[in-house]
């Protein structure tokens, strides 16, 4: 019996793919835990204490399935954003919702446009359903709306993916630019606006809600600023007709009671959210200083991470990443040139940042010594 005997032709044609190697895997490989976990853009500041208490209380009720409609959480999200509950769908992180949306819209050969180097899990879903990915390069370390629009028009794209602020570079576009891009979409193209990091943007730089615009669906998450990455809670805001189609494919009992309770408590704790945003801002300043002291350059960021330009090519950045891992610090890097000249460092507590600073100095010195041998 061959290993592909039961697979569809499409599935049989796909290579095994791991968009991100998890830090736990890397720790097993190195035989020791990391001293600082700064690669996955998690919030080391943790979730709101209110969310922790809510999840503890709900844990005893885990013998019950979670509310299949996430009713209370959907209503709270709608109130928070000033939209209607029918504009909101809740799911297993942005990754899960992207998978649902792609499943609803993409089949063999469906043209989809994204940026070369942008979030790879979106690409994973598109390829998994047989779509045809068309990529455009970044411009000055930013995703380029004009290039994305031109490619969408050229290929007749059904979907156009844009992350604002961007992962992996941390850069962002003004709300007027995003609004102009939406208004310039070709007929029949849906924009997927990934706003996972929107909580960290400067005041006034977020696009106002356009919940009833059928040309765009916006994705948000509790994984970043709310510190609930392990709970897997994301949501999308869009036109009610589009949101309703998720009922055709979503995992109706995929949201646990514990996760729903934690997210509901988190969205009501603005004091904790403001505290985390402030600590992230302080960490960005510290990481920028550390980069400059090491002769590197930090790229201005509106996220909970900083992309640090190593000033050379991707091979050097990869060597630095491996050296940092050896010295106890987990970070990541973009996967394509010219973005891959950078390493990407998540914002952490002062002790995490100091650990990174020491490991960076050691790692650069080790690479210099190797080069001079």
Per-residue pLDDT tens over the stretch 73-93: 999 999 999 999 999 999 999
Q: Determine the angle formed by the axes of helices 120-128 and 93-105, rounding to 10 degrees.
A: 30
CB neighbour burial string for 190-227, b if at least 16 within 10 angstroms, e if fewer: bbbbbbbbbbbbeeeebbeebbeeebbbbbbbbbbbbb
- Residue 209: which pLDDT band, with cuts at 50, 70 and 90? confident
pLDDT of residue 196: 98
Mean pLDDT of 256-284: 98
Residue 20 has pLDDT above 90, yes or no: no
Confidence of residue 2 (pLDDT cuts 50, 70, 90): low
The CATH 3.90.1150.10 domain(s) of the chain lie at 21-46+271-371
In which residue ranges of the chain is CATH 3.40.640.10 found? 49-268
Domain at 49-268: CATH code: 3.40.640.10
Q: Is residue 3's pLDDT more than 90?
A: no
Q: What is the pLDDT of residue 4?
A: 80
Beta carbons within 8 Å of 188's beta carbon, 6+ residues apart: 156, 158
> Tokens at residue 252, please?
């109706």
* Nearest C-alpha neighbor of 322 from the set 94, 26, 91: 26
Q: Note the pTM of the prediction, 2 decimals.
A: 0.95
Q: Say which residue, 3 or 182, is predicted with more confidence.
A: 182
**Tokens at residue 87, please?**
């504009």
88-91 and 234-237 beta bridge pairing: antiparallel
Rounded CA-CA distance 334/6 in Å is: 35
Q: What percent of the chain has pLDDT over 70?
A: 99
Which parts of 192-313 fold into alpha helices (H)? Answer: 240-245, 257-267, 270-293
Q: What's the rounded Cα separation, in Å, for the pair 357 and 350? A: 10
Task: List, for residues 289-331, the tens digit of each pLDDT value.
Answer: 999 999 999 999 999 999 999 999 999 999 999 999 999 999 9
d(CA 106, CA 217): 15
Contact 160, 192 (CB under 8 A): yes
Which CATH number is associated with domain 21-46+271-371? 3.90.1150.10
Q: Percent of the chain beyond pLDDT 90?
A: 94
pLDDT of the residue at 1: 44
Report the C-alpha gap between 72 and 64 in whole angstroms: 16
Could you tell me which of 359, 316, 306, 24 has the C-alpha nearest to residue 171?
Answer: 306
């Amino acid at each position: 019996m061959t290993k592909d005997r039961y697979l569809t032709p499409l599935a049989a044609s796909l290579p095994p793919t791991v968009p991100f190697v998890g830090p736990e895997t890397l720790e097993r490989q190195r035989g020791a835990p990391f001293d600082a976990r700064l690669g996955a853009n998690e919030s080391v500041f943790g979730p709101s204490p209110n969310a922790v208490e809510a999840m503890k209380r709900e844990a005893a009720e885990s013998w019950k399935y979670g509310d299949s409609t996430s009713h209370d959480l959907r209503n709270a999200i709608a109130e928070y954003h000033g939209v209607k509950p029918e504009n909101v769908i809740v799911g297993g992180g942005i990754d899960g919702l992207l998978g649902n949306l792609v499943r609803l819209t993409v089949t063999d050969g469906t043209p989809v446009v994204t940026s070369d180097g942008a979030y790879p899990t979106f690409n994973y879903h598109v390829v998994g359903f047989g779509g045809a990915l068309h990529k455009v390069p970044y411009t000055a370390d930013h995703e380029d709306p004009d290039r994305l629009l031109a490619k969408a028009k050229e290929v007749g794209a059904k979907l156009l993916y844009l992350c604002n602020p961007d992962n992996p570079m941390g850069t962002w576009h003004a709300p007027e630019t995003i609004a102009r891009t939406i208004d310039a979409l070709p007929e029949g193209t849906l924009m997927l606006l990934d706003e996972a990091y929107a909580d960290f943007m400067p005041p006034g730089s977020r696009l106002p809600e356009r919940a009833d615009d059928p040309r765009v669906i916006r994705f948000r998450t509790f994984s970043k600023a709310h510190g609930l990455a392990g709970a897997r809670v994301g949501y999308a805001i869009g036109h009610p007709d589009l949101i309703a189609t998720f009922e055709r494919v979503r995992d109706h009992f995929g949201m646990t009671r514990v996760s729903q309770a934690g997210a509901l408590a988190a969205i009501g704790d603005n004091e904790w959210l403001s505290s985390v945003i402030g600590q992230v801002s302080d960490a960005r300043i510290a990481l920028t200083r550390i980069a400059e002291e090491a002769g590197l350059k930090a790229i201005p960021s509106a996220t909970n991470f900083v992309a640090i330009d190593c000033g050379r090519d991707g091979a050097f950045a990869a060597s630095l990443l491996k050296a940092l891992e050896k010295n106890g610090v987990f970070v990541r890097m973009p996967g394509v040139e010219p973005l891959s000249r950078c390493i990407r460092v998540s914002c952490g507590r002062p002790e995490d940042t100091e650990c990174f600073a020491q490991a960076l100095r050691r790692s650069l010195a080790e690479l210099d010594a190797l080069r001079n041998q």
